Amino acid sequence: MPYSEKVLEHFQHPRNQGSMADADAVGEVGNPVCGDVMKIYLKIRDRRIKDIKFETLGCAAAIAVSSALTEIAKGKSLDQALKIEKDDIVRELGGLPDLKIHCSMLGVEAMRAAIAKYQAGQK
Amino acid sequence: MTAKKYIYFDHSATTPLDREVLKAMAPFWQADFGNPASLHLRGRQALEAVDIARERIAEFFNCQPGEIIFTSGATEANNLAIKGLVKNLRAQGWADPEIITSAIEHDSILEPIRELEKEGVNAVFAPVNGNGIVDPAAIRAAINERTVLVSVMYVNSETGALQPVREIGKLVRKAREKRHKLWLTRPLADREKKERPLWFHTDATQAVNFFNCGAQGNFFDLLSFSGHKIYGPKGVGVLYKNAKVGLSAIQTGGHQEGNLRSGTLNVPGIVGLGAAIRLLGQAGKMGEPSREQKKNTLSVAKLRDLLVKGVLKSIPNVILNTPLGQAAPGHAHFSFLGVEGESTLIALDLAGIGVSTGSACASGSLTASHVLLAMGIKTEVAHNSVRFTIGKLNTREEINKVLQVLPPIISRLRRMSPIKE
């Protein structure tokens, strides 16, 4: 299965791409040996994701997944964001090749790691 | 994206059919559609066309027409060479054969060998140096009394590294002669039924366009190649098998090809293969490439060198994995550090340029290229690899276009990465 138009569009024009100097929380998962590294930056106000940015080293799917994830998560409460599943992203992207589904989990994990860090800091 | 404008730099994957080849094949789909196994006029016409192609191919490979076995491609030819040889040896009572190959072979060599390993065949995978080249001394050292086959590819499909196949072929022949002398000195009662054979096979799929493939001069006992890498059709290939090599069929039931490869002959494909070989001219017996091969090499190498020079000049942190001094002329294999190769491939594709990558993220198995890893390239660098393979129809303008499009793609992808150099 080739990449969908939507995946290619996100890959060419990623949303919320870049770093964030004043992030409230940062999550990073993966490593270069496995091929994918994803980093999510969060700006949080009133337990809501006010702003989100990503940086990704990986295949086109990994980049598109990161981009789609930031779009879905932006503006959501932390509780809502924690409920985002890989299926939500795959659906948003109009499907992903089977072998690439695992990439989508990395983006979700990076965001969850960032939220967990933030919540740990709040306690 | 129209097909015409698309720039194709993946000739190691496949090549477009040459116009002459297409023309040669044309009558054999419909007008001359006969089955060469039929005795009637239609069959005889088809057989004649197959015979002409066979003779032409035999001439190019400096062997006998009867030593050419048509297959569906190089994968089948490789499978037949390896499994067919072991099957034949087992039928003769040799229970413990050993095969020596290299760590950088195509999967159609490695997987059949691994299958046989599970059935008790011993396998040795000779390493390569940092340039991806097999050391003949390592092969020589590995050969022992159990060895029945050495298989080393002519040109590596990923990096383009040219292997010392003639040298390896020669040392295999010497080892065989030595074994024979030893066998002759044994008392008659001691001699096993027959002498254990020792043959050299090369997968020449990536070499036929450019290098001398004469079986005699290069000491090849078995050789595989396919039509679609030499501007011929897909779905057809050849196993050259020296008359002395004993093989057993792995596909049976039709008695074609001297009972070694059953199945109705792919007449249009075989005619096309013959035409593609004819375009490559006649190589000299002394290891020289033909005039046509030299011409291919010159034109392709000129573009490849332009590409390599331009890439290394305009993009920082690039590793060239092709050993230019000992490689096929069309290969340029790079690692763009810090950029996943599949992303580069997709970005180039969206810009109308077709390349390939050894990155895990583009493979069906999600593992990085075994060839790059065998060269000692780190996994994370193997993920960064992008292969350009230039063909005879590429132009200087196309190289310029890549040199214009590629640097911004690499810097865009590097900017997106969380790992800053």
CA distance B129 to chain A (A): 22
**Overall domain count for chain A:** 1
CA distance B322 to chain A (A): 22
pLDDT of B421 above 60: yes
CA distance A74 to chain B (A): 19
Interchain CB contact of B420 with A (< 8 Å): no
In this structure, of A74-78, B72-76, B96-100, B192-196, the range with the lowest mean pLDDT score is: B192-196
Starting at the earlier edge strand, list the strands of the sheet with A48-57.
A25-31, A36-45, A48-57
- Look at residue A77 and give its three-state secondary structure: strand
**Cα separation of B156 and B330, whole Å?**
12
Query: For B252-260, which contacts have Cβ atoms below 8 Å and span 24 or more sequence positions?
Result: B254/B37, B256/B37, B257/B69, B257/B70, B258/B66, B258/B69, B260/B69, B260/B80, B260/B84
Q: Grade residue B211 by pLDDT with cuts at 50, 70 and 90.
A: very high
The reply to whether residue A36 touches residue B340, judged by beta carbons under 8 angstroms, is yes
In this structure, of A33-37, A47-51, B82-86, B406-410, the range with the lowest mean pLDDT score is: A33-37
Closest CA relative to residue B265, chosen from B43, B24, B26, B56:
B43
Q: What is the ipTM of this complex?
A: 0.95
- Look at residue A26 and give its three-state secondary structure: strand
Any idea what the CATH number is for the domain that residue A94 is in?
Answer: 3.90.1010.10
Interchain CB contact of B340 with A (< 8 Å): yes
Judge residue B55's burial from the number of C-beta atoms within 10 Å of its C-beta, 0-12 exposed, 13-18 middle, 19 or more buried. Answer: middle
Per-residue pLDDT, averaged over B223-238, amounts to 98
The question of whether B361 is a catalytic residue gets the answer: yes
* Cβ atoms < 10 Å from Cβ of B93: 9
The active-site residue, picked from A103, A106, A110, A113, is A103
State residue B4's pLDDT score. Answer: 60
In this structure, of A67-71, A76-80, B181-185, B263-267, the range with the lowest mean pLDDT score is: B181-185
In Å, how far are A36, A102, B308, B362 from A90, measured between CA atoms? 17, 10, 38, 18
Residue B248 — φ and ψ, nearest 5°? -115, 145
**Cα separation of B131 and B122, whole Å?**
27
In this structure, of B95-109, B164-178, B182-196, the range with the lowest mean pLDDT score is: B182-196
B166: amino acid identity, one letter: R
Residue of B340, B366, B417 with shortest CB distance to A99: B366
DSSP B190-240: TS-SSPPP-EEEEE-TTTTTTS---TTTTT-SEEEEEGGGTTS-SS-EEEE
CA atoms in the 13 A half-sphere facing the CB of A99: 13
User: Hunting for tokens 């095969």 — which residue is that?
Assistant: B99
Per-residue pLDDT, averaged over B332-353, amounts to 96
B8: amino acid identity, one letter: Y
Query: What are B343-364's pLDDT values in tens digits?
Result: 999 999 999 999 999 776 667 7
Interchain CB contact of B361 with A (< 8 Å): yes
Q: Are B297 and B289 in contact (CB under 8 A)?
A: yes
Query: What are B20-59's pLDDT values in tens digits?
Result: 999 999 999 999 999 999 999 999 999 999 999 999 999 9
State residue A103's pLDDT score. Answer: 74
**Cα separation of B91 and A14, whole Å?**
61
**Cα separation of B28 and B292, whole Å?**
26
Residue of A3, A19, A58 with shortest CB distance to B340: A58
Choose, out of B344, B356, B383, the residue to mutate when testing the contact with A (most A CBs < 10 Å). Answer: B383
CA distance A52 to chain B (A): 14
Q: Grade residue B1 by pLDDT with cuts at 50, 70 and 90.
A: very low
How does strand B98-102 pair with strand B147-151? Answer: parallel
- List the structure tokens of B336: 């763009």
Chain A's closest residue to B377, CA to CA, is: A33
pLDDT of B83 above 50: yes
Interchain CB contact of B417 with A (< 8 Å): yes
pLDDT of B279 above 50: yes
Judge residue B307's burial from the number of C-beta atoms within 10 Å of its C-beta, 0-12 exposed, 13-18 middle, 19 or more buried. Answer: buried
Which residue segment(s) compose the domain that A24 sits in?
Answer: 5-122
Q: Are B229 and B177 in contact (CB under 8 A)?
A: no
The dihedral through the CA atoms of B64, B289, B223, B23 has a sign that is negative
Q: Which residues of A touch B343 (CB under 8 A)?
A: 11, 58-60, 63
Residue of B340, B346, B360 with shortest CB distance to A57: B340
Domains in chain B: ranges and CATH: 7-16+290-414 (3.90.1150.10), 19-278 (3.40.640.10)
User: Hunting for tokens 């948003």 — which residue is that?
Assistant: A92
State residue A49's pLDDT score. Answer: 97
State residue B88's pLDDT score. Answer: 96
Interchain CB contact of B395 with A (< 8 Å): no
Per-residue pLDDT, averaged over B210-215, amounts to 96
Per-residue pLDDT, averaged over A13-19, amounts to 97
Interchain CB contact of B380 with A (< 8 Å): yes
The active-site residue, picked from A34, A79, A83, A94, is A34
Per-residue pLDDT, averaged over B174-187, amounts to 90
Interchain CB contact of A36 with B (< 8 Å): yes
Q: Which residues of A touch B342 (CB under 8 A)?
A: 59-60
Chain B's closest residue to A15, CA to CA, is: B416
Choose, out of B1, B336, B343, B363, the residue to mutate when testing the contact with A (most A CBs < 10 Å). Answer: B343
The reply to whether residue B416 touches residue A3, judged by beta carbons under 8 angstroms, is no
DSSP B23-89: HHHGGGTTTT---TT--SHHHHHHHHHHHHHHHHHHHHTTS-GGGEEEESSHHHHHHHHHHHHHHHH
Interchain CB contact of B117 with A (< 8 Å): no
Interchain CB contact of B405 with A (< 8 Å): no
Beta-carbon contacts below 8 Å between A and B: 67
pLDDT of B97 above 70: yes
Residue of A14, A57, A59 with shortest CB distance to B418: A57
In Å, how far are B155, B173, B268, B290 from B253, measured between CA atoms? 34, 34, 22, 39
**Residue A99 gets which letter from DSSP?**
G
In this structure, of A3-12, A26-35, A64-73, the range with the lowest mean pLDDT score is: A26-35
**Residue B16 gets which letter from DSSP?**
P
In Å, how far are B41, B48, B50, B417 from B28, measured between CA atoms? 14, 12, 11, 54
The active-site residue, picked from B103, B138, B320, B361, is B361
The reply to whether residue B418 touches residue A37, judged by beta carbons under 8 angstroms, is yes
Average pLDDT over all residues of chain A: 93
Q: Which residues of A touch B344 (CB under 8 A)?
A: none
pLDDT of B71 above 80: yes
